Homo-oligomer: A and B are copies of this chain.
Amino acid sequence: MHFASDNAGPAHPKVIEALVAANEGHAMPYGADAAMDRVRVRIREIFEAPEAAVYLVATGTAANALLLATMGQPWETVFCADVAHVEWDECGAPEFYGGGTKLTLVPTVAAKMTPGALAERIGQTAHKVVHGVQRGPVTLTQITERGTLYSLDEIAGLTEVARAHGLPVHMDGARFANAMTALGCSAAEMTSRRGVDTLSFGGTKNGLLGVEAAVMFDPAAAWEFELRRKRAAHLFSKHRYLSAQMEAYLTDGLWLEMAAAANAACARLADGLRGLPGVRIDYPVDANMIYAAWPRAAHARLRAAGAAYYMMGAPDGPEDEVVPARLVCDWTASAADTDRFLDLLRG
């Protein structure tokens, strides 16, 4: 019953196998390994972007911060959702990497920016007037930080607003595979074909040890990105171990298989929660993350039984007070786990 985060679970055995296999003999360092060439080809295929620049880093924050810095200027502001990971969970990495860039928070509905709200915030930001920070990149998280999903039309709606103002668009795809699986679309449909310019393509939360791809569909800034990555100490000498993970991930659909498993477990859990008296679902459950709430007494039962998840409130207090929680399913979440969780909650 591990629902604390999809970064707490193990890597897939096939990924470990790939790592073991990669540990043969010597390999060119710093991304010049042969596996990286194959990964680059594969990612270009998946995104139908034959010219795309593709780089690997080990953390999602690195991918986000490096891409945003490359897309903007220090005197610009990044437009992001008011619940965005870049705002709340990266300790100011975008500001640091960007040389003092700002983030402008766009109000959200169900954790999603709307085109109207984005346009309004852009409109309130300086443009060709020297006193304020200037308009910079737009970033959206898919799936969002509350587990909701932008539809393809919603993505297009946001990128159209950005495009109308000449602003590039980044997608934080820490849970990209979960989103794609949920939408049933192709990777390109969710990104390059909807006006997204750059992507943090997550692997760590979906069964890898620690690899994300930074993808720029237009490779014009590729060399700048390489310098920024090196300068930020995110260029790995023994790069083959990153390549091997990503190659395994993209082989035989392993990435989608793991995402499907996580999403399925999450749907089962959400279905069960919906049927329980006293349980409130706080956000649409679109992929592998649930925001819900139930009485403290049930929390106590669950935690006593070893269930792991985020409880947003004090463990002590009135038994019948409804306390919110976050549950995330990773690729290892089983039906047995979800059902036991539901049983405990039911009491």
Q: Residues of A with Cβ closer than 8 Å to B? A: 2, 4-5, 7-11, 13, 16, 19-20, 23-30, 57-62, 65, 73-75, 77, 88-93, 95-103, 126, 128, 130-134, 204-205, 209-210, 223-224, 226-228, 230-238, 241, 308
Q: Name the CB-closest residue of B to A9.
A: B26
Given contacts A75-B228, A235-B130, contact A92 B88 (CB under 8 A): no
Give the residues in chain B near A75, CB-CB below 8 Å: 91-92, 96, 227-228, 231
Contact (Cβ within 8 A) A233 B19: no
Contact (Cβ within 8 A) B228 A89: no
Contact (Cβ within 8 A) B210 A96: no
Q: Once bound together, how far apart are the Cα atoms of A13 and B1, in whole Å?
A: 32
Q: Name the CB-closest residue of B to A64.
A: B233
Contact (Cβ within 8 A) A59 B236: yes
Q: Once bound together, how far apart are the Cα atoms of A11 and B97, in whole Å?
A: 31
Give the residues in chain B near A61, CB-CB below 8 Å: 230, 233, 235
So how many copies of this chain end up in the complex? 4
Contact (Cβ within 8 A) B238 A7: yes
Q: Name the CB-closest residue of B to A28.
A: B8
Residue from B77, B92, B209, B236 in contact with A100 in the complex, judged by beta carbons closer than 8 Å:
B92
Known: A13-B23, A75-B96, A75-B231; 4 extra A-B contacts, CB below 8 A, are A23-B209, A90-B131, A90-B231, A95-B95
A interface secondary structure, majority: loop
Q: Name the CB-closest residue of B to A134.
A: B227
Given contacts A11-B23, A16-B23, A241-B210, contact A233 B93 (CB under 8 A): yes
Give the residues in chain B near A210, CB-CB below 8 Å: 236-238, 241
Q: Name the CB-closest residue of B to A20.
A: B16
A29, A96, A223, A224: which has the most chain B beta carbons within 10 Å?
Answer: A96
Q: Once bound together, how far apart are the Cα atoms of A109 and B250, in whole Å?
A: 50
Contact (Cβ within 8 A) B19 A131: no
Given contacts A16-B19, A100-B100, contact A131 B7 (CB under 8 A): no
A5, A65, A234: which has the most chain B beta carbons within 10 Å?
Answer: A234
